[in-house]
Amino acid sequence: MGRKKVRLELITNESTRKTTFRKRKAGLLKKANELTTLCGVEGCAIVYGPNEPDPHVWPSREEAEQVLTRFKSLPAKKQAKHMMNHEECLDKNLMILEGKVEEGVRQNRDLELEMLLDELLEEDGNDERLIEMMSLEDMKDLCGFLDKRLEEIPKDDGNDGSSHVASSENLGDGDEDEDIEEEEVSVSDD
């Protein structure tokens, strides 16, 4: 059974809020314990409750003071290395999402250019009309796209013929070549 999505806002019912706080505090401390045990790291948690005069300190007050003292003894640059406030976190996430959007736009443009190239290569007589409709930017992009695709084609190094673009492997089992040769011979005999 799945859980329903929780809205992140203050729980108005005080009894429900206290129960949620108690349960979530226990969950948080359990996770802190698991993290320190499984990963072999030092950690502590300090939780101030709404109706508690003293904070709950995990694992103990002395161990928490040791962790905090060690942290405070680090240079300021190291202390702040992995810290983020909400704004920095949002900026980082925004940058990642913008990168994904740019990649999606690039992939879409490549697909558009591939479709355009397919249309130009079709022998339906609309090539001139299609070329006239293309903008200068489209033509430049198409040239760049073709250059990129040509770079992906393996070069013939002249050694064993295995890197030919249209090698015999790509043509099938080789029977077609014999049929073509026979047709050529029969045509030349006539």
Q: How do the domains of the chain map onto residue ranges?
A: 14-79, 84-153
- Give me the average pLDDT of each 10-residue run along the chain (190 residues): 80 92 95 95 92 90 94 88 82 94 94 85 72 84 87 71 43 45 42
Pick among 3.90.550.10, 3.40.1810.10, 3.30.720.210, 3.40.50.300: CATH of 14-79: 3.40.1810.10
Contact 110, 145 (CB under 8 A): yes
pLDDT at res. 146: 87
Prediction pTM value: 0.45
**CA atoms in the 13 A half-sphere facing the CB of 21:** 16
Residues 6+ apart with CB under 8 A from 120: 127, 130, 131
What ranges make up the beta strands (E) of 25-179? 45-47, 56-58
CA distances from 117 to 12, 40, 106, 153, 184 (A): 61, 57, 16, 17, 32
| 44 sits in which H/E element | none
> Helix, strand or coil for residue 47?
strand
